[in-house]
Chains A and B, each alone.
Chain A
Amino acid sequence: MTKVVEISPTTRLEGHSKLTLKVDDQGIVERGDWLSITPVRGIEKLAIGKTMEQVPKIASRVCGICPIAHTLASTEAMEASIGCEIPTDAKLLRIILHAANRIHSHALHNILILPDFYIPGTEKKFNLFANEQPARSVMARIVRIREIAQTIAAIAGGEAIHPSNPRIGGMYHNVSPRAKQKMADLAKECLVLVHEQMEFMLDVIRNMQNREFVEVGGKQIPLPKKLGYHNQGVMATAPMYGSSSLDDNPTWDFTRWKETRPWDWYMGEVTIDLEDPSYPIGGTTKVGTKANPQMESCTGVPTYDGQPVEVGPRARLATFKNFDEKGTFAQHIARQMEYPDCCYTILNCLDNLNTSGKVLADHIPQGDGSMGWAANEAPRGSNIHLARVKDGKVRWYDMLVPTTWNFPTCSRALTGAPWQIAEMVVRAYDPCVSCATHMIVVNEKEKIVAQKLMQW
């Protein structure tokens, strides 16, 4: 008999989300809904009427984790709308900034997932904050990788967290030859560390894949071989940086994207009739509580060719590098495999960077209201910003951030997993829930959503 269990909030990810799960007698998920419960903030509306220079600054604040990805995607969406090509050296600095962002974000994600995993060859779960080895040296390595990547980001982007150097038309400043050398030295040191980290993580992940059970809340939970499998497609715009509507051959198609209402996608009202007080942390939702994912979800459901798609490292590797593994562990593996590429990208860009080259376009048009979009491959996947700029002012703005794409796909991928490890499936997407939260305005027939629901 189907029962409903709810995990709310989910933990060790960014922002607030929850899982409403219909499970069978064995506790296996028959249908899972993963939804954002971070309040809707209406960032796109706030952008309207602001100058094209202001909006990237605003966009960078939607989340504390990926200001770099949002600054770059937003800036380039403005440039795409006004038709402004930027100098090569400015682009190189942006790619360096972007790759550094991916390194420190992936390293952060290692911290978030490792407590789910076992130290290879032992029955001991990882506690990165323990003093014993290997936890201590792994944590020290992760911290150093993050320190290096943030420092490279600070040099190329002007600041480590909210990059101040990118601007419409290019960058404010080029870097000095000394700064270029410093970035190269750091990237070389980082390359050694990320190789070690990648190999370590691959061991840990493969070790987990070979396990039959995982312990959650003091119970042994079977670990399915096809954990996190789904039949949806993948979407990626580039292996490393991204694409925009200014490209000769853009790798994302605006016309293939549609946004559906959450109440056409998620399950309706259900009553929780299964609870487990021993589930970490603090147990699941109490029996008798009502849940209504259709009404509670704070994101729209974006589709590509009419279907939800997966974005992120596995999608990038599947699209561009013939990576053919599927599921939760494949996502983890793909993420680790991206580490060295980021360092090589930084080193290649530095090789080509002319520190005397100009970094600002000669002419910055003010825009005629044309639609422009820019996608960058943020650590979590395709981060697409769309804008219409006229006379220097933003007339329309939208953000299709990675986790928005992944919410419905991951919901499908929950089917077949024991409910106690549903959070492991979610975490593999490296969710960034806060910036994924935005209000949709049209349904699949381009109609405005019901007024009653807008008021809610």
Chain B
Amino acid sequence: MESLYSEIVVAGCGNPLFADDGFGPAVVEKLKDLELPENVTVVDAGLGGPHFVFTLLNPESTKTLIIVDIADFGGEPGELRWLSVDELPVGSYRDAHSWDLTEPLQYIKDDIRVRVLACQKKYVSSPEMVIGITDEVQRAIPDAVSEILKEIGVNYGTA
């Protein structure tokens, strides 16, 4: 268990039952294998980002929120890209209550630094259930981990 209400929150969003949509949780799983600084909390946000993640951010202590998810930005499958909140299309992230994530992110972006690490999806099976991330997106996981480590200022001497 990381420290409560930490400075940096990394939230992996998505559902591993829908093929590449499992990217966010898979990155979180890899990050959890590492020794991370005390000021970092890594959360597998699943599908509940909009209504779960915001109550884990404390405006007094949280400085950075890093969201990890798949996206369709027209890149090659597995390509990673850092996006700002302003680049997220309205309605692109909705939870099961039809709550939009983009709008609340707009609200908090002046108080909390929000970074979105997006991976170009290849195949999302929703609503059919398919377990397993495509090879291209799978290969992006280690790069995503090192991108996040760079972002949170961790250097294991491998970079």
User: Which of chain B's residues have a CB closer than 8 A to the CB of A112?
Assistant: 97
**Least CB distance, A452 to chain B, in whole angstroms:** 21
The answer to whether A150 and B46 have CB atoms under 8 Å apart is no
Q: For chain B residues 97-156, which have a beta carbon within 8 Å of chain A? A: 97-98, 127-129, 131
**Least CB distance, A187 to chain B, in whole angstroms:** 14
Is B26 at the interface (CB under 8 A from chain A)? no
Is A154 at the interface (CB under 8 A from chain B)? yes
* Nearest 6 pairs of A and B residues by beta carbon: A64-B47, A64-B48, A39-B127, A146-B55, A147-B55, A162-B44
Is B15 at the interface (CB under 8 A from chain A)? yes
The answer to whether B47 and A63 have CB atoms under 8 Å apart is yes
The answer to whether B43 and A159 have CB atoms under 8 Å apart is yes
Is B83 at the interface (CB under 8 A from chain A)? no
Looking at B15, B49, B51, B128, the one whose CB has the most chain A CB atoms below 10 A away is B51
Q: Complex formed: what's the CA distance from A12 to B17 in Å?
A: 25
Is B56 at the interface (CB under 8 A from chain A)? yes
**Least CB distance, A72 to chain B, in whole angstroms:** 15
Ordered by A's residue number, 26 sampled pairs between the chains whose C-beta atoms are within 8 Å are A14-B97, A41-B127, A43-B17, A43-B129, A46-B17, A58-B17, A58-B131, A62-B17, A63-B96, A64-B48, A64-B95, A64-B96, A108-B51, A112-B97, A143-B55, A146-B55, A150-B52, A150-B55, A154-B56, A155-B1, A159-B43, A159-B44, A161-B44, A161-B48, A182-B4, A434-B96
Is B58 at the interface (CB under 8 A from chain A)? yes
**Least CB distance, A236 to chain B, in whole angstroms:** 25
User: Which of chain B's residues have a CB closer than 8 A to the CB of A308?
Assistant: none
**Least CB distance, A397 to chain B, in whole angstroms:** 13
Is B45 at the interface (CB under 8 A from chain A)? yes
**Least CB distance, A270 to chain B, in whole angstroms:** 26
Q: Complex formed: what's the CA distance from A321 to B46 in Å?
A: 35
Tell me which of A12, A67, A104 contacts B46 (CB under 8 A).
A67
Contacts known (A39-B127, A161-B46, A182-B4); A14 close to B55, Cβ less than 8 A: no
Interface residues on A, range: 35 or more
User: Which of chain A's residues have a CB closer than 8 A to the CB of B44?
Assistant: 159, 161-162, 164
User: Which of chain B's residues have a CB closer than 8 A to the CB of A164?
Assistant: 32, 44
User: Which of chain A's residues have a CB closer than 8 A to the CB of B58?
Assistant: 147
The answer to whether A104 and B1 have CB atoms under 8 Å apart is no
Tell me which of B1, B49, B97 contacts A158 (CB under 8 A).
B1
Q: Complex formed: what's the CA distance from A182 to B3 in Å?
A: 11
Q: Complex formed: what's the CA distance from A143 to B107 in Å?
A: 15
Q: Complex formed: what's the CA distance from A162 to B129 in Å?
A: 18
Is A151 at the interface (CB under 8 A from chain B)? yes
Closest to B11 in A: A161
Closest to B52 in A: A161
Is B16 at the interface (CB under 8 A from chain A)? yes
Q: For chain B residues 1-54, which have a beta carbon within 8 Å of chain A? A: 1, 4-5, 15-17, 25, 32, 43-49, 51-52, 54
User: Which of chain A's residues have a CB closer than 8 A to the CB of B131?
Assistant: 46, 58
The answer to whether B1 and A179 have CB atoms under 8 Å apart is yes
The answer to whether A12 and B1 have CB atoms under 8 Å apart is no
Q: Complex formed: what's the CA distance from A108 to B49 in Å?
A: 13
Question: What mask results when residues 2 to 46 of chain A are scored 1 for a CB within 8 Å of chain B, else 0?
Answer: 000000000111110000000000000000000000110111001
The answer to whether B97 and A12 have CB atoms under 8 Å apart is yes
The answer to whether B51 and A42 have CB atoms under 8 Å apart is no
**Least CB distance, B25 to chain A, in whole angstroms:** 7
User: Which of chain A's residues have a CB closer than 8 A to the CB of B32?
Assistant: 164
The answer to whether A160 and B43 have CB atoms under 8 Å apart is yes
User: Which of chain B's residues have a CB closer than 8 A to the CB of A65?
Assistant: 48, 51, 96-97
The answer to whether B128 and A41 have CB atoms under 8 Å apart is yes
User: Which of chain A's residues have a CB closer than 8 A to the CB of B49?
Assistant: 64
The answer to whether A67 and B48 have CB atoms under 8 Å apart is yes
Closest to B5 in A: A151
**Least CB distance, A100 to chain B, in whole angstroms:** 12
Q: Complex formed: what's the CA distance from A43 to B54 in Å?
A: 29
**Least CB distance, B90 to chain A, in whole angstroms:** 17
Closest to A157 in B: B1
Closest to A62 in B: B17
The answer to whether A160 and B56 have CB atoms under 8 Å apart is yes
Looking at B45, B97, B127, the one whose CB has the most chain A CB atoms below 10 A away is B97
